[in-house]
A = this chain, B = another copy of it.
Amino acid sequence: MPMPHANTLNFSAGPGALPAAVLAQVRDAIAALPETGVSVLGMSHRSDWFLAILDEAERHVRHLLGLSDRYAVSFLQGGSSLLFATVPMNYATPAFAAPEYVVSGYWSARASAEAGRVGPHRIAWDGQRAGFRELPVLEQLDVDPRAAYLHYVSNETIEGLQFALPARPASVPLIADMSSDFLSKPIDAWHFGMIYAHAQKNLGAAGVTVAVIDRELLTRIPGGLPHILDFRTQIAHGSNYNTPPVFAIYVLTLITRWLRDDIGGLEQVQRINEGKAARLYAVLDEMSDAVTIHAKRPWRSQMNVAFTFGDARLDRAFLDTAEARGMSGLEGHRSLRGLRASLYNAVTPQAVEILCETLIEFALQRA
């Protein structure tokens, strides 16, 4: 049996696995782009080549999400951490009541804390006391109908919690940080006021963040913000106001091309992702005497599976076993410890199967 390449056994929570076909194209593009003969790293952001890449990236995002003209798409820098500040700077104006935040894990807690540094905000739901193991139903939250917006994180990467998709538009604009489940399944984009997602999960290389914004929200932005922090700026300039992260946007374009052409779209990738997660959770459930899954069952994430053997030495022993077989990225986040397997789009069912077999053998040896 050929040794699987380490890239295909990368379970990192991000930056994480990329499709082998994309890596091969990127590798060639570092030497010379087929279209220009120049390295992708040497291409001007004002070149016709890059303008076509920007255009293609936006078209793919629009096509995959089925976006109408009601939505603007732009590519930003700074990651979700910058958006945590700029979302309230752009939308939390005196014309509306304070924005509301769902605090359902480490990342949504950070988003909420940053909003609090920008101005007044209200916590619509807080799962911290219960240890971030469950989620609310968005539609049942008691949100002020005059609130500027309701913010949540659709998939909590660290705790392995994932919201069900909202069944309808919220009574106030719904803003979702989808960094760790963006483009992992179809969504009804028109239920959202804004969606943002940074790239190092399902979209490629760290350094670019996709923002999808209902144009109605853009009309609420106050004048006088620094241009670079005003969401209208990159939209007006086709994401080319200042030098964009050319390489990260190029990789994102290849990833979305792969999703459309090689995988066949979001319904197909959803089916694959559901199969991967179902297999891993089934194995862990079989081992429930020895293993604890952090998330309660209804809110288990299909992207990040956080679990532990209940003992730091056992977790370490499993990590060593997995690493000896070429797997990487299985350590839990430093805030929760334990283990975590991330099953992003580029992680293959075959890789998940190898992880599952390793888990089973590990458990049997210690039974």
Tell me the A residues contacting B by CB distance below 8 Å.
5-7, 10, 12-18, 23-24, 26-27, 30-32, 36-39, 41-47, 77-82, 84-85, 89, 114, 117-118, 198, 200, 204-208, 224-229, 241-248, 251, 326, 328-329, 334
A229: nearest residue on chain B (CB-CB)? B85
Q: List 19 A-B contacts (CB under 8 A).
A: A7-B42, A10-B39, A13-B44, A14-B243, A15-B41, A18-B39, A23-B41, A41-B204, A41-B205, A77-B78, A81-B242, A84-B228, A85-B227, A89-B226, A117-B224, A200-B246, A205-B247, A207-B207, A245-B248
Q: How many angstroms between the C-alpha atoms of A244 and B79 in the bound complex?
A: 8
Q: How many angstroms between the C-alpha atoms of A305 and B44 in the bound complex?
A: 17
Secondary structure of the A contact surface, majority rule: loop
With A14-B243, A82-B228, A207-B207 known as contacts, the answer to whether A30 contacts B23 (CB < 8 A) is: yes
Q: A7-B39, A15-B44, A36-B328 are in contact. List 15 more A-B contacts (CB 8 A).
A: A6-B32, A7-B42, A12-B47, A14-B243, A15-B246, A18-B42, A27-B30, A41-B204, A41-B251, A78-B228, A85-B227, A200-B243, A205-B246, A207-B247, A207-B248
B79 A334 Cβ-Cβ under 8 A: no
Q: How many angstroms between the C-alpha atoms of A302 and B149 in the bound complex?
A: 51
Q: How many angstroms between the C-alpha atoms of A247 and B224 in the bound complex?
A: 34
A14: chain B residues within 8 A (beta carbon):
44, 243
A80: chain B residues within 8 A (beta carbon):
242
A118 B15 Cβ-Cβ under 8 A: no
With A246-B205, A247-B206 known as contacts, the answer to whether A44 contacts B31 (CB < 8 A) is: no
A42 B242 Cβ-Cβ under 8 A: no
Q: How many angstroms between the C-alpha atoms of A334 and B240 in the bound complex?
A: 13
A12 B207 Cβ-Cβ under 8 A: no
With A79-B242, A242-B80, A243-B14 known as contacts, the answer to whether A31 contacts B37 (CB < 8 A) is: no
A41: chain B residues within 8 A (beta carbon):
15, 18, 23, 26, 204-205, 251
Q: Which of B18, B228, B243 contacts A206 (CB 8 A)?
A: B243
A201: nearest residue on chain B (CB-CB)? B243
Q: How many angstroms between the C-alpha atoms of A328 and B26 in the bound complex?
A: 21
Query: Which of A5, A16, A27, A39 has the largest count of B CB atoms less than 10 A from its CB?
Result: A39
A32: chain B residues within 8 A (beta carbon):
5-7
A6: nearest residue on chain B (CB-CB)? B37
With A41-B18, A44-B14 known as contacts, the answer to whether A226 contacts B77 (CB < 8 A) is: no
Q: How many angstroms between the C-alpha atoms of A329 and B5 in the bound complex?
A: 38
A18: chain B residues within 8 A (beta carbon):
39, 41-42
With A117-B227, A226-B114, A243-B198 known as contacts, the answer to whether A17 contacts B44 (CB < 8 A) is: no
A226 B37 Cβ-Cβ under 8 A: no
Q: How many angstroms between the C-alpha atoms of A95 and B80 in the bound complex?
A: 32
